[in-house]
Structure 1
Amino acid sequence: MNRLKGWNTLRNQIFIGFMLVMVIVLISSGTFTYNQTSILLRNSAERLVKQTAVQATGKLEALYQQVDSLLMQVSTNPSLQSILTREHSGKQVNFSERQSLQDVVRGYEAYGTGIRSLELYTEDYRRLLPLDDALLQDRVTESWIYQADEQKGKLVWCGLDPRDSTSVIAIRSVRLINRSFIHGGYIMLRMDRNYFELSDSLRTSDEPQRELMILLDGAGNKITADFLADESLIAEIGRDDETVMIHGESYMKIQQQSDVTGWTLVMLTPAKYTTEGVSVLRTSIIVSIAVGGLLFLVSSFVLSTMITRPILNLIRAMRGARLGNLKLNPDTSSTMEIAELNYSYNQMVNSLNEMIQVVYQKEIIQSRTELKALQSQINPHFLFNTLEAFFWSLDEKGETELADNVVAMSGLFRYVINRSDEDEWVKIGDELDHAERYFKIMEMRLVDRLIWRIEADEACRSIPIPKLLIQPLVENAIMHGVEKRNEQGTVVLRVEAATTPDYTRIMVIDSGPGMDEAMVQQLYATLQDGKKIISNGKGIGLVNVDRRLHLYYALQSKGIMIQSHVGEGTTIGFEIPNEIWGEL
């Protein structure tokens, strides 16, 4: 623990606080910059890949257009149109006519690139070319035939040949020009799948291969690819995931579907190529954070030392101070707050040195005064014994009333003079007995002008209360209430349970002249300021009672409460809790 306390200094707190703030700022800004830049780099790479995919798709569209133009020429050939028109009219062509048509078709096959064969079928699916009697539904599925009928003369790219996986099939419905373009038959094209190879045309000879391309038909079958792709890999590529794992390496997938064929071109780019600049960026950010942290480490240490050194000098000056030998701190600081602190300390030292001298002189005077007072002090026991002797003498002579007053005075003195610490708290019953003795003595002085009584609940007499808290209120009521009247006056001391639970109310009620509202507010202000009510010192008892209430009960007591009206007397009292601090 002592080692930990040694580290818990202001300089270390400032240093660590600055470092934590700087580290948080550097890491937060570095992370934000890294994430945003990584996203920009990744988006830029994706845009480039998409541009490549668009170029490849455009190349394919050009190939599709070439094939479509060739088949359009074939389907509009006069010889082919004539033969299909006769077939549509119900006149079957003979073998020699079919053979002559074969020479025409072979000329188109030789003209086109990548064409393996052209097949001609009638509208009832009979094959005219090649020269056999196969049916169209034996070569392709009915769904493809249905699509060709729906397209009404447009080329339909079906996909891989079910009989030959190295060929691609396209089919087209032939429309008879002389018969208002009604359906007259079908032309089926078989293309070499290598015809759709695009990797060499999209990449220069000295550029390393990055992207992998694969062309899939509408059913998800591979048309062509520039890498080895088995069925499981093709199935994974066909999923909707944005990345694909190929031979343990992650690839980003970009898909581009052709509106003409419905085929999908998939481009796969290694993920590491899409973020080539991220590693450099990450290294730069880490180096920047390290250099910035080191610079801030040094500057924080220097700054914290500059701030705390004057404070440490001031602490050493305070520790070296001794009572009666307080020394000024000569160090100065350019920092305004620390300079003000040092100035305040020096000012306080000057004030304390002056006060010490004043107190020292007062102590000397006080000691001399107390010595003289002790020399002339009457022994309390001598006083009590003398009063008891008066009592017995008066009692023997039959002066009972006067003897009772002497006993009351003796009890009053004994209650007041006893100053032992254990008598600081008494019970309300003890205070009431003391007030009763005071009433008797004042009754002897005022003769028949004073009427008094004590009204107290028996349950309240055992409640603890600070000593001599009630008697000043009784004295105030007699002095400012009864004595201010020319006729007879009444003072009532009442102790009862308060409206607040577990509280007791003590009130002194007199029938004096009373006070107006302005005087009551002035009295409250005087109690709050703690000053004497009048300049001659009278009324200080109320101030002392109010101070002691707040001192002993803190927030548990509201202090003295005053109620008074002109001509109706005055009520002064207070409320105290029944229990305070457990035990006395």
Structure 2
Amino acid sequence: MRGGEWGLRVNWGRWNSLRNQIFVGFVLVMLVVLFIAGIAAYDRVSGLLKTNAEKHIHQTAVQANGRLDALIAQVNSLTAQVADDSYVQRLLSNEKGGEQATFNQRQALLQVVSSYPSFMSGVQSLEIYTTTYSRIFPMDDRSLDGRLGRNWIAEADAEKGRLVWVGPDPEDPGVIMAIRRVSLMDRAFEPGGYVVVRMQRSFFQLNDLDAEDDVEDSILLVDAAGSVVTSNLEASLDVKALLSSDSSVVETREEPYIVVRQHSEMTGWTLAVLTPVSETTEGVSILRTALLISGLFGVVLFLIMSFLLSTMITRPITRLMRAMRSARPGAMKPNIMFSSTMEIHRLNEVYNQMVYRLNELTQEIYEKEIMQSRTELKALQSQINPHFLFNTLEAFYWSLDDKGDEEMARMVVAMSRLFRYIISSPNQDEWVTMADELEHAERYLRIMEMRLGERLQWEIRLSDAMRTVKIPKLLIQPLVENAILHGIESKIEPGKVSIHVDASTQDGLVHIEVRDDGPGMDDSRLQSVVRALNGGPAVSDKGTGVGLINVHRRLKLYFGSQLGELCRLSITSKVGEGTTIRFEIPKDTEGAYDSWQNDSNR
């Protein structure tokens, strides 16, 4: 199971590369952009195509309606000419006066009536009736109310001479009938009869309007009663539903149609132009196909470009990674590469600078290791000298002891122990207890007491609580040496050196004080000493003052990061009263110093 998980992690890490991330990111952005742009373009262009199609259909309907009005105007003009003909007016006026027309007079109407339709095709026949509904032309005994319903006659009377379209002839469905009342002009426009015109349905055919267009429109002409006057629509359609619906799309069994309706005020008829929805969306289908093809082409092209771009970006990084993997300590080589990308070029420069620096550091470490080895070798060799010195002092001690010179023997023993404390082996700890450090200072004082005699008095005060406090080796003895050299030896009468170690007024600190009652220093000399401690020139007349400066610097090195200004030596001195040197260290001195070193190494 763990092996399978490791395999999955390796495969995922292999696929989760920078190049694949850039490639997938570019492709996703491209797909989103193409998707949004395609939808926007499709919606915009399809809307334009539909709008243009609707405008075209509406224009066709307007043209068809105008053509229909022109045809109706021709029929209206024809019937008006017949009704206003002088012979027809005279004949109907006589009928109105009770004088019936003779056979010859009625036969003469044939010449009059037949002369008008000759100028217009589509006229099936013209019929003339009197106010008593009897027909005087053609010459038969049919009555108008038997030919038409009385409602049409009443409507013709109400229109007062305007043409009224009746609709299909009940006796011949292929003929459309219209009626108008004849007003007698010599009788103050009294009703004189009726003129009925019968028009062939082909007269109202309007199919030639879209002959030059690619869209196949169907034209449907319906009269006021809902009967179809003319139509070239092949599909079956519910005419009443078409007239009553306000929708712009009607459904048939074959396919849906977009319909535009035009109502004629002259006839009361409705003209409907129907266009298949598939004809109007044909351009949209072509647009959809074009967008899909262009989108696929764009996807393929962008895939190629994204792959090439991601490869161009990640190839220098891959080369840099290979150079890093092949790097070995002490044998790192710079990656010689130039990239047109500023960031990658800069990254390669930083890597090369790091390689040069690491090689330099490696060389320095190597040289330091050689130097350290030589130093250790010299230290091992130098151990022979202290060993020879200690053996020589021991021989002096036994020789003086055999001769009975106890004072000199004690002095030799003190010197031997003093040297053993000062000259430590490389592995000996540099931290000692406060008791050991003061014991070493006491041995030094005893030796100085042998030299100065009664001129030197000394005092060491150490509380039991401070005995185990850790302190760096040789931190107090140089101050004692300085007190004797510049204090006790500078006066003729006896002098005293005091060493006090006790708890400080501040928690966690140990107060250390070395005091002498020598001649002291004036302010100018004291300031010179302070300047020397801070890096100025040494001011001592006896020696160089290296011990005091050494202690001061060691305090700063050991405790400067914890105590700040408190780690400095504090020197007070008055002429004739002596000099006091004070400093403070933490109780847990060694732990604080180790913690500081660990923080510094981090």
Query: TM over 0.5: same fold?
Result: yes
What is the aligned partner in structure 1 of residue 264 from structure 2?
258
**In structure 1, what is the Cα distance between the partners aligned to 2:68 and 2:216?**
20
In 2, the alpha carbon distance for the partners of 1:174 and 1:5 equals 101
- CA 1:225–1:106 in 2, change beyond 3 Å: closer, same or farther? farther
Alignment correspondent of 2:16: 8
Determine if contact 1:148/1:155 at 8 Å carries over to the other structure. no
Residue 312 (structure 1) aligned with residue 318 (structure 2): yes
Distance 1:237 1:323 in 2: 95
Q: CA separation in 1, counterparts of 2:129 and 2:12?
A: 96
Which of 218, 221, 228 is the aligned partner of 2:227? Answer: 221
SS of aligned partner of 1:240: coil
Deviation, structure 1 residue 119: 5.2
Q: 1:255·1:266 contact (CA, 8 Å) conserved in 2?
A: yes
* Cα displacement string for residues 283-341 of structure 1 (whole angstroms, at most 9, x for unaligned residues): 44444333343333333222222221110111122233355554422333233221111
Q: 2:123 aligns with which of 86, 111, 114?
A: 114
Would you say the 8 A contact 1:175–1:183 is kept in 2? yes
Distance verdict in 2 for CA 1:179–1:134, change over 3 Å: closer
Q: Deviations over 1:122-158 (max 9, x none)?
A: 3xxx42336466649971537x845862x44332334
| Correspondent of 2:463 among 395, 403, 406 | 406
Match in the other structure for 1:331:
337
Structure 2 CA distance for partners of 1:230 and 1:335, relative to 1, 3 Å: closer
| Cα distance in 1 for residues equivalent to 2:354 and 2:331 | 13
Residue of structure 2 aligned with 1:199, choices 177, 193, 207: 207
The letter of the residue matching 1:118 is E
Correspondence 1:510-525 to 2 at 5 A: none
Aligned to 1:550: none
Post-superposition offset of 1:189: 3.8
Kindly provide the CA deviation profile for residues 100-120 of structure 1, in whole angstroms up to 9, marking residues without a partner as x: 568637852674343445353
Matched position secondary structure for 1:141: helix
Task: Answer yes or no: is 1:154 the counterpart of 2:162.
Answer: yes
Contact 2:182 2:194 in 1 (8 A): yes
Pairing partner for 1:168 from 160, 164, 176: 176
Aligned to 1:442: 504
Distance 1:163 1:372, change over 3 A: farther
- Identical-residue share of aligned pairs (%): 37
Aligned match of 1:72: 80
Q: Structure 2 vs 1, CA of residues 5 and 219 (structure 1 numbering), >3 Å: closer, same or farther? A: farther
What does residue range 71-470 of structure 1 map to in structure 2 within 5 Å? 71-78=79-86, 80-81=88-89, 93=98, 95-96=100-101, 100=105, 104=109, 107-108=112-113, 111-112=116-117, 113-118=122-127, 120=129, 122=131, 126-129=132-135, 131=141, 135=145, 139-141=149-151, 145-146=154-155, 149=158, 151-160=159-168, 165-181=173-189, 186-199=194-207, 203=211, 210-228=216-234, 230=236, 232=238, 235-236=241-242, 239-276=245-282, 278-322=284-328, 325-355=331-361, 375-377=428-430, 406=463, 408-409=465-466, 413=469, 441-442=503-504
User: 3-state DSSP class of the match of 1:296?
Assistant: helix
Task: Write the distance in 2 (CA, Å) between the matches of 1:165 and 1:405.
Answer: 144
Contact 1:258–1:264 (CA under 8 A) maintained in structure 2: yes
SS at match of 2:256: strand
Match of 1:336, as an amino acid? M
Query: Does 93-102 or 184-193 show the bigger shift?
Result: 93-102
- Mark the CA change 1:332 to 1:195 in structure 2 (over 3 Å): closer, same or farther: closer
SS in 2 for 1:170: strand
Following superposition, the deviation at residue 268 of structure 1 comes to 2.5
- In 2, distance between residues paired with 1:542 and 1:115? 130
Report the Cα distance in structure 2 between the residues aligned to 1:69 and 1:378, rounded to whole angstroms. Answer: 137
Which deviations, in whole Å up to 9, do the C-alpha atoms of 1:181-216 show, x marking residues without a partner? 466665444434343233368649xx9993322111
Q: CA deviation at 1:62?
A: 2.8
Q: 1:178: how far off?
A: 3.5
| Cα gap change, 1:376 to 1:280, in 2 (>3 Å) | closer
Aligned to 2:339, the other structure's residue is in SS state: coil
RMSD: 5.1
Structure 1 CA distance, aligned partners of 2:251 and 2:195? 41
**Secondary structure of 1:331 counterpart:** coil
Give the residue type in structure 1 aligned to 2:302.
F
Cα deviation for residue 20 of structure 1 reads 3.0
Deviation per residue, 1:501-538 (Å, 9 max, x gap): xxxxxxxxxxxxxxxxxxxxxxxxxxxxxxxxxx9899
Q: Which amino acid aligns with 2:315?
A: R
Contact 1:217 1:262 in 2 (8 A): yes
Structure 1 residue 57, shift from structure 2 partner:
3.2
Q: Deviations over 1:375-415 (max 9, x none)?
A: 2546669879x9xxxxxxxxxxxxxxxxx99355469x49x
Amino acid at match of 2:113: Y
291-300 or 178-187, which deviates more: 178-187
CA distance in 1, matches of 2:467, 2:177: 136
Residues in 1 aligned to 2:322 and 2:224: alpha-carbon distance in whole angstroms: 88
Q: For the structure 1 residues 236 and 36, does the alpha-carbon distance in structure 2 shift closer, same or farther, using more than 3 Å as the test? A: same
Closer, same or farther: CA 440–86 of 1 in aligned 2, 3 Å: farther
When Rg is computed on C-alpha atoms for both structures, the one with the higher figure is 2
- In the alignment, the residues of structure 2 paired with residue 148 and residue 10 of structure 1 have an alpha-carbon distance, to the nearest angstrom, of 93
Give the C-alpha shift of residue 23 in structure 1. Answer: 3.6
8 Å Cα contact 1:158-1:171 kept in structure 2: yes
Distance 1:230 1:99 in 2: 51
Which residue identity lines up with residue 322 of structure 2 in the other structure?
A: R
Q: Tell me which amino acid in the other structure corresponds to 1:406.
A: S
Q: Structure 1: how far apart are the matches of 2:258 and 2:142? A: 49
Q: Distance in 2 between matches of 1:72 and 1:95?
A: 23
Matching of residue 22 in structure 1 with residue 22 in structure 2: no
Q: For residues 345-394 of structure 1, what are the alpha-carbon distances to aligned partners after superposition, in whole Å with 9 as ceiling and x for unaligned?
A: 1112333444456677889979989x96862546669879x9xxxxxxxx
C-alpha separation in 2, matches of 1:83 and 1:407: 163
**Cα distance between partner residues in 1 of 2:146 and 2:68:** 27
**Kept in 1: contact 2:156–2:162 (CA 8 A):** no
Specify whether residues 183 and 98 from structure 1 end up closer, same or farther in structure 2 by C-alpha distance, changes over 3 A only: farther
Instruction: Render the CA deviation track for 1:445-472: whole Å, top value 9, x for unaligned.
Output: xxxxxxx9xxxxxxxxxxxxxxxxx758
Is the 8 Å Cα contact of residues 224 and 270 (structure 2) preserved in structure 1?
Answer: yes
Amino acid at match of 1:268: L
Amino acid at match of 1:15: F
Task: Give the residue type in structure 2 aligned to 1:8.
Answer: N
Q: How far is the alpha carbon of 1:344 from its aligned partner?
A: 0.7
